[in-house]
Amino acid sequence: MLEIDVIETFDGLQALAPEWQALFDKSSPRTPSKSPLWQMAWQRHFGGRRSLACRHDMRVFALRDETGALVGVAPMMLTSRPGYGPALVREMQFFGADAYVTQLRGPLCQREHLPEVGRALAAHLRKRKGHDLVQWRGLAPGACVLEQGERQATLEDIDSCLIMRESWDAFHAGLPKKTRKHLRKSRNDLKAAGITIEFRVATAPDEAQEGLKAFYELHGRRAAMADVVRHPNVFGGERERAFLDDYCAQMARAGDLRIFEIQVGGKIVAARLGFAFGDELYLYFSGYDPDYGAYSIMTTLMAETLQWAHENGVALVNLSSGVDRSKTRFRPEMIASEGFYSVSPNWRGRLALAAMRKLRGGAPAPEAEESPDDQEIGEPAGA
């Protein structure tokens, strides 16, 4: 039986951070949103939200075994709607109610402990008062932790991970013929146009500021494109950029930030953010200059990044959330997770679920809205 401590203050979050980081370091695959560094930055920039629409209050659950060892962390919050006065709806949900800045929400633990952690947390929340419904995410498929839970496709997720081979040549040789052809074509198109590219990886704190500035511009330009697969400008708002600046600055100081760039004539024309966690690499959002879209510049950037990963001792590359051709063409391992709602066994729970259905129209609320990560870059929609 797991014991559960509840943390409701930022000081408590900081006190838990060293144990949390040790648990994070043992987990795999490692995703930034489940690290203490990400969660504390998120709390600083998003967690203290107070508005007429809603209010977020921290509820972080630390799960320990009989020896007192930390085996799981569920970084959650109680969201009350409206934000002032008596709450009509009180929803327990995981940190990450933002415009998809946070990917792959859910509890942190080693994969084999996920069913046990889910069951223990569900039992705890069944007894705990103060909320009307729980929005669950990141749970093991087929391991529904409640007798009564309403599965939601909008709360399910896929994490796409690539296991690195002994060399880039071996990895490349094992790719589908169509993928190898696509990689070769993107290179040949650039060469035929007389475009010489330079691949570089920015890691230092002084490089991070310049790299992020270019990333924001390129990400915004990609989002503004018409007649291609649409992507939102996730970092169009000041709060989103302030959060990412904060997180990336800390990662750069720790030596764990990677900004993968392609330059032409000294100008950055494509960029993708990456975060290093030991021998794992997580690839986050990207952007590129539309003038280079016809050359599948992002395909070239991905190939250069994977070759760099092979040459620099990376064992696993996490392509992040979602299933699309920019990921599936490399035949990654697909790690699925489930999500659903559970309600308190009273009239408030039933009304709360009905209210959330009406508010979200069958999809997550705006602050929890999911958008696809980078899909097929440089190809028309429907291609």
Provide CATH code, domain 165-314: 3.40.630.30
CA distances from 205 to 25, 48, 112, 209, 276 (A): 23, 28, 36, 7, 15
What's the mean pLDDT in 11-31? 97
What's the mean pLDDT in 131-160? 77
Domain with CATH 3.40.630.30 in the chain: 3-157+337-368, 165-314
The residue count of the chain comes to 383
pLDDT single digits (tens) 95-112: 988 888 999 999 999 999
The yes-or-no verdict on residue 379 having pLDDT over 60 is no
The yes-or-no verdict on residue 374 having pLDDT over 80 is no
Quote the CA–CA distance of 217 and 210 in Å, as a whole number. 11
Better-scored residue on pLDDT, 301 or 150: 301
Better-scored residue on pLDDT, 378 or 248: 248
The yes-or-no verdict on residue 219 having pLDDT over 60 is yes
Q: Looking at this protein, which amino acid is placed at residue 72?
A: G
- What does the CA dihedral 122, 126, 129, 135 come to, rounded to 10 degrees? 50
CATH 3.50.50.60 describes domain 3-157+337-368:
no
Instruction: Give the bridge partners for 57, in sequence order.
Output: 78
Q: Name the DSSP class of 47.
A: I
pLDDT single digits (tens) 326-342: 899 999 999 999 888 88
The pLDDT value given to residue 273: 98
pLDDT single digits (tens) 59-99: 999 999 999 999 999 999 999 888 788 878 899 999 988 88
Better-scored residue on pLDDT, 155 or 306: 306
Give buried/exposed letters for 279-316 (b at 16+ CB in 10 A, else e): ebbbbbbbbbbbebbebbbbbbbbbbbbbbbbeeebeb
The yes-or-no verdict on residue 370 having pLDDT over 80 is no
pTM: 0.89
